[in-house]
């Protein structure tokens, strides 16, 4: 389970957007909540990838276990310094679109720092907003390799969310391949082991201050080694697969 999925759609509905989209999210949340209840009585095992989701499902099913998220990344970070800050995500999702616009208006307006936004399917409203800022660039529908290169070359990856459900796989991606990582509290609320790897801003002023602090900081080989130690300890795919197999055997799977 990557989220309590019905809660995720409910939070998307609460973010707003046009009436048709809100009605769609509301109906999806209703259907997913019913599906969630139906499926709990039929599964042999349930794995959750965030502590918060595990707490939710443990109240309803004794066969629920926390298992950190699987991912396809190795630590591949460039030492040194970049000359831009990067926000990335699926830009057709209301959460990401609103976050990108907020960061433009509240953090990168009237500063010299270059801000890059990258992601899938930006709409006309976001494209129009980007056009207002000389220091903001938008890259749409990049390949995985192109996005990874942008993440590696950035001075910092900035990740902002309005939702605190699940664990953000793009945070894991950024920590495996990017230098500094600036986030808001909700981005790491379900990932306690990752908090110390990020610079956390509780509001826009703090995020803006972190940009100023980090803009000239080198990311060193020792920084990379420290990052790798934490990620390998808690998010090693092989070790977490062994944990899953052990639990499965305890439940009679061979």
The per-residue pLDDT for range 9-45, each reduced to its tens digit, is 998 888 877 888 889 999 999 999 999 999 888 889 9
Residue numbers of the domain that contains 175: 84-233
CA distance 203 to 200: 9
Let me know the angle formed at the C-alpha of 147 by 143 and 152, rounded to the nearest 5 degrees: 145
The answer to the question of residue 3 being in a domain is no
CA nearest 67: which of 79, 77, 57, 59? 57
The answer to the question of residue 220 being in a domain is yes
The answer to the question of residue 53 being in a domain is no
CA distance 168 to 197: 14
**Predicted pLDDT at 14:** 85
Question: pTM for the complete prediction?
Answer: 0.89
The answer to the question of residue 239 being in a domain is no
Least confident of 52-56, 133-137, 145-149: 52-56
The answer to the question of residue 27 being in a domain is no
pLDDT digits (tens, 9 = 90+) for 196-250: 999 999 999 999 999 999 999 999 999 999 999 999 988 999 999 999 999 999 9
Q: Which two tokens stand for residue 1?
A: 């389970």
Position 52 pLDDT exceeds 90: no
The answer to the question of residue 112 being in a domain is yes
| Exposed e or buried b per residue across 52-74, where buried means at least 16 C-beta atoms within 10 angstroms of its C-beta | bbbebbeeeeeebbbbbbebebe
What share of the chain in percent tops pLDDT 90? Answer: 71
Least confident of 47-56, 151-160, 194-203: 47-56
Position 165 pLDDT exceeds 80: no
**Predicted pLDDT at 132:** 96
Q: Which three-class secondary structure state does DSSP give residue 18?
A: coil
The answer to the question of residue 32 being in a domain is no
**Predicted pLDDT at 23:** 93
**Predicted pLDDT at 170:** 92
CATH number at residue 125: 3.40.50.2000
The answer to the question of residue 54 being in a domain is no
pLDDT band for position 121 (cuts 50, 70, 90): very high
CA distance 32 to 9: 9
**Predicted pLDDT at 51:** 85
Domains in the chain, number: 1
């Amino acid at each position: 389970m990557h989220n309590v999925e019905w809660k995720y759609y409910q939070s998307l509905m609460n973010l707003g957007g046009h009436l048709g989209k809100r009605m769609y999210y509301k109906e999806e949340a209703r259907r997913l909540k019913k599906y969630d209840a139906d499926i709990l009585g039929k599964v042999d095992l349930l794995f959750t990838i965030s502590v918060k989701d595990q707490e939710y499902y443990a109240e309803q099913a004794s066969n629920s276990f926390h298992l950190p998220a699987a991912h396809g990344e190795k630590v591949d970070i460039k030492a040194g310094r970049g000359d831009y800050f990067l926000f990335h995500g699926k830009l057709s999702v209301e959460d990401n679109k609103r976050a990108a616009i907020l960061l433009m208006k509240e953090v990168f307006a009237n500063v010299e720092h270059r801000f890059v936004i990258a992601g899938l399917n930006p709409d006309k409203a976001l494209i129009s907003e980007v056009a207002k800022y000389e220091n903001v660039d938008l890259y749409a529908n990049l390949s995985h390799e192109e996005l990874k290169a942008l993440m590696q070359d950035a001075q910092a990856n900035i990740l902002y969310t309005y939702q605190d459900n699940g664990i953000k796989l793009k945070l894991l991606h950024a920590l495996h391949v990017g230098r500094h990582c600036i986030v808001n509290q909700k981005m790491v609320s379900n990932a306690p082991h990752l908090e110390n790897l990020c610079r956390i801003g509780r509001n826009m002023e703090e995020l803006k201050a972190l940009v100023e602090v980090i803009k000239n900081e080198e990311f060193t080989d020792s920084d990379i080694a420290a990052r790798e130690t934490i990620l390998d300890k808690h998010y090693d795919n092989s070790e977490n697969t062994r944990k899953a197999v052990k639990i499965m055997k305890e439940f009679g799977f061979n």
